[in-house]
A and B are shown apart, each in its own frame.
Chain A
Amino acid sequence: MFEEFKNLWRRFYNWTVGNGPRPENEVIPPEPPPDLPFTRRLELKRSRFQERPLASRYNEWLERKSLHVFSMLYLGMSILTCLLFMALLLSTVAELPSFGDANNPVNNEVIKRYIERGGQETGAQNIVAGMILDYRAFDTFGESAVLFTAAISVLMLLGAVRRADTEEISIDLNNASDGILRRGPPSLNLKITTGFTPRIHMFRKNDAILRGVAVLSIPAIILLGLTVIINGHLSPGGGFSGGAILSVALMLCANAYGFEQVHAFFDEHVFIRFSSLALMIYAVLKGWSFFSGANHIESGIPTGTIGEILSGGLILPLNICVGLIVAGTLYGFYALFSEGEI
């Protein structure tokens, strides 16, 4: 009985940790390791237990055992820490201001001005858009920079290296070292892959259903994305959500027609230039706004009347820039992870 429980627990534990054999595979006992010839085994034993001094064996045991002990300790400490952390945070939550109360300290003069004067000061109907792109625009600029950082890093890790692995070498057959003059093409270009083999993306070519759906839905998706971006200061949405929608259109296109088709207009160089330029426009526009604000110069940016498309000062162009960056970056992530290159 106890043994069965122990077995069950072990299976459950292995299943949760994900390292052990899966339950459905466990019925078949694993094959025993191939039996080595007796002499070889003897040799191994000797090398292990006789030829090495006691100290090195002790060291080896200590290294393995210490790693094991360390991992058990880590596990125990982590569980303990997390339980403590949960208790601590729950007791904190119990003392926080109540949910949905209008008298909380959060509802102070800050949001009063955002709501009451936000319309005149930023010209945006969507108060959140006005807040993140005008009142607290430095945060949002930093946020775009985070996305840019991640895009550059992922491109560096996954894209550039794969290119570096494929080396193009040219052999000049006419000047070969053996000195014999040959006929034929004077030189030969070879592309040799020295590093990891690129992953092969498995998708069915010429899938009629996928293509049919793509033809119908891609224009609709692009329209929806553009609407969300351009109406960012009037309705929920904005650069980030609209850009995410646009990137879905690109992904669908790539899946239905193949990545080669997308390469025709969107590859790595276009991606880098595109996002750098969009972010640069963002930085310059916002930089002028910061600079003029701090030095009390009239910025000359009209806020327009609230509720119209051309209102909200810089919010519309900034949303467009952010939308382009996000669309490119998210599609770039997808392409890099599934295909290995943009």
Chain B
Amino acid sequence: MLNRLLLNHYEAAAVILSCIGLTNLLLQRNMIKKIIGLNIMDTAVYLFLAAKGYISGRTAPIYYLDANGEWVNQVQAYVNPVPAGLVLTGIVVSVSVTAFALALTLRLYEHYGTLNIDEALFLLEHKYELEYSSYNDDDELLYEFGVDNRDMIKAANEAASKSMNDKGGDEDHA
């Protein structure tokens, strides 16, 4: 098995990279890091495809002239063109998805003041209880959750005051 892995070392590297990417996509709490993980995974798949298209001793699939001035169109001259096309499509898809995910992340940050989806969930549900729990004995509970307590309170207060301001603004208009 190790022989085969060494023979297919590009594919093995691609697979390991894609697992690293998937781990990041699932494990990271920070959205930006998740998106980086997504990109690592996609890029690893392109490496896999590019390795699959290669045939040893052949050149890139663009017709060239031989010594007699004629186009060379033998199969034996060129590598497989299909994976190149698939990689091209994949790159564009990955760019689009990354842009969309980053835009969503930006909106999330504007709404909650955090890049962490779990924390946003927490803020949503515990916005009003935080004030009570903040100066109490079970701070370490929140700390274990991986959240800096004071930042969260600040963010919650800001969110609350923002919603208050919005309402106040409406009244001003009227």
Report if A and B touch in the complex (beta carbons < 8 A): yes
Chain A neighbourhood of B100, CB < 8 A: 150, 153-154
A336, B103: Cβ atoms under 8 Å? yes
Residues of A160-191 whose CB lies within 8 A of B: 169
From A86, A91, A114, A116, B82 is in contact (CB under 8 Å) with: A114
**Given A91-B1, A131-B81: A47 touches B96 (CB 8 Å cut-off):** no
A222 smallest CB distance to B (angstroms): 21
In the complex formed, the residue of B with least CB distance to A135 is: B85
Asked if B67 is at the interface of the complex by the 8 Å CB criterion, the answer is no
A25 smallest CB distance to B (angstroms): 12
From A64, A114, A330, A336, B81 is in contact (CB under 8 Å) with: A114
Chain B neighbourhood of A269, CB < 8 A: none
In the complex formed, the residue of B with least CB distance to A47 is: B132
A229 smallest CB distance to B (angstroms): 14
Alpha-carbon separation in the docked complex, A56 to B29 (Å)? 29
Residue count of chain A within 8 Å CB distance of chain B = 86
**Given A19-B29, A111-B75, A146-B92: A131 touches B82 (CB 8 Å cut-off):** yes
Interface string of A1-28 (1 = CB under 8 A from B): 0000000000000000111110000000
A134 smallest CB distance to B (angstroms): 11
A116, B88: Cβ atoms under 8 Å? no
Chain A neighbourhood of B161, CB < 8 A: none
A194, B166: Cβ atoms under 8 Å? yes
Determine chain A's interface SS by DSSP, over half rule: helix
Determine chain B's interface SS by DSSP, over half rule: helix
From B5, B60, B63, A93 is in contact (CB under 8 Å) with: B5
Residues of A89-142 whose CB lies within 8 A of B: 89-96, 98-102, 106-107, 110-112, 114-119, 125-128, 131-132, 136, 139-140, 142
A107, B55: Cβ atoms under 8 Å? yes
From B16, B28, B62, A86 is in contact (CB under 8 Å) with: B16
A99, B5: Cβ atoms under 8 Å? no
Chain A neighbourhood of B56, CB < 8 A: 100-102
Alpha-carbon separation in the docked complex, A270 to B159 (Å)? 36
From A19, A85, A131, B85 is in contact (CB under 8 Å) with: A131
A272 smallest CB distance to B (angstroms): 16
Residue count of chain B within 8 Å CB distance of chain A = 79
Residues of A265-312 whose CB lies within 8 A of B: 306-307
A95 smallest CB distance to B (angstroms): 7
Which residues of A are in contact with B by a Cβ distance under 8 Å?
A: 17-21, 33, 36, 41, 44-45, 47-48, 60, 63-65, 67-68, 71, 75, 78-79, 81-82, 85-86, 89-96, 98-102, 106-107, 110-112, 114-119, 125-128, 131-132, 136, 139-140, 142-144, 146-147, 149-151, 153-154, 157-158, 169, 192, 194, 196, 234-236, 238, 240, 306-307, 330, 333, 336-337
Listed A/B pairs (23) with beta-carbon separation below 8 Å: A18-B30, A19-B116, A44-B136, A60-B129, A71-B118, A86-B16, A90-B5, A94-B1, A94-B5, A96-B11, A114-B82, A117-B73, A127-B62, A128-B61, A128-B62, A136-B85, A140-B85, A143-B88, A149-B96, A154-B100, A158-B107, A238-B88, A240-B88
Nearest 9 A/B pairs, CB to CB: A150-B96, A100-B56, A127-B61, A86-B19, A94-B4, A132-B85, A82-B23, A89-B15, A154-B103
Given contacts A128-B81, A140-B85, list 15 more A-B pairs with CB under 8 A.
A44-B136, A86-B15, A93-B8, A94-B4, A96-B8, A100-B55, A102-B56, A111-B80, A112-B75, A127-B63, A128-B84, A131-B81, A131-B85, A154-B99, A194-B169
